[in-house]
Amino acid sequence: MAKTSNFPRANREIKSMQVRLIDEDGNMLGVVSIREAIEKAERAGLDLVEISPNAEPPVCKILDFGKYKYETKKRVQDAKKKQKVVILKEMKFKPNIGKGDFDVKIRKIKKFLEEGDKVKISLWFKGREIVHNEIGMRLFERIISSLGDAAKLEFEPKMEGKQIMMVVVPAIPHK
């Protein structure tokens, strides 16, 4: 039978005949029979919970199982809240971009970086523009110098088909 719960086994669910028992105060009581361990837990008004099922014999502790489940769920939720998912944003440029458009795109890239996101910067060539890829490389140098200390290169600018692309990440890791 497969285990369905994410929580450890408790009380009568524990299958082992003997367990290494830890009481509610954290004191090691040694190896005892499962029946004796459950009786001690019931006398204390608490549950017997299997803490380390893979040990030989399994380690069990006397504690309040409801409180244990609540605290475990709370810890998992707190860990999820503190996680920062890094998103890859993309900003597209063209070789003959105007000064105003360039400045707007640079401000947007800086905003993405401040939020802790990676930014993929790509430059698309149309038709015969591809023969002047040095214009694209100069534009990328201008982008890098405009970003200054806000960004750090993760991937250097490189040509892929009809586009040049690079990836920048925040210079200071976002918290």
For residue 70, is it within any domain? Answer: yes
For residue 159, is it within any domain? Answer: yes
For residue 1, is it within any domain? Answer: no
pLDDT at 174: 57
Domain identity same for 100 and 63: no
Pairing state of beta strands 18-22 and 151-160?
A: unpaired
pLDDT at 133: 81
Domain identity same for 116 and 161: yes
pLDDT digits (tens, 9 = 90+) for 108-165: 999 998 888 899 999 988 888 888 888 888 899 999 899 888 888 888 888 888 888 9
pLDDT digits (tens, 9 = 90+) for 54-103: 888 889 999 988 888 898 889 888 888 877 777 889 999 988 889 999 99
pLDDT at 16: 85
pLDDT at 5: 65
Helix (H) or strand (E) holding 153: strand 151-160
pLDDT digits (tens, 9 = 90+) for 29-50: 889 998 899 888 888 889 898 8
The single-letter code of the amino acid at 15 is: K
- For residue 170, whether the previous peptide bond is cis, meaning omega lies within 30 degrees of 0, is no
Domain identity same for 155 and 127: yes
Residue 4 has pLDDT above 80, yes or no: no
Domain identity same for 102 and 139: yes
73-79 long-range Cβ contacts below 8 angstroms, 24+ apart = none
pLDDT at 149: 85
Domain identity same for 64 and 99: no
pLDDT at 175: 54
Show which of 79, 98, 121 is a domain's final residue. 79
Q: How many domains does the chain have?
A: 2
Domain identity same for 66 and 135: no
- With 0-12 / 13-18 / 19 or more C-beta atoms within 10 angstroms meaning exposed / middle / buried, residue 163 is middle
pLDDT digits (tens, 9 = 90+) for 9-22: 888 888 888 899 99
For residue 63, is it within any domain? Answer: yes
- What mean pLDDT, rounded, does the chain reach? 86
pLDDT at 127: 84
Domain at 101, CATH number: 3.30.110.10
pLDDT at 90: 92
- The pair of three-digit structure tokens given for residue 95, joined into one six-digit string: 């070789």
The DSSP bridge partners found for residue 62 are: 48
Sign of CA dihedral 74, 77, 81, 86: positive
Residue ranges making up the domain that contains 71: 11-79
For residue 5, is it within any domain? Answer: no
Residue 1 has pLDDT above 50, yes or no: no
Show which of 62, 79, 96 is a domain's final residue. 79
The rounded distance, in Å, linking the Cα atoms of 164 and 120 is 11
Domain identity same for 25 and 92: no
Helix (H) or strand (E) holding 144: helix 133-147
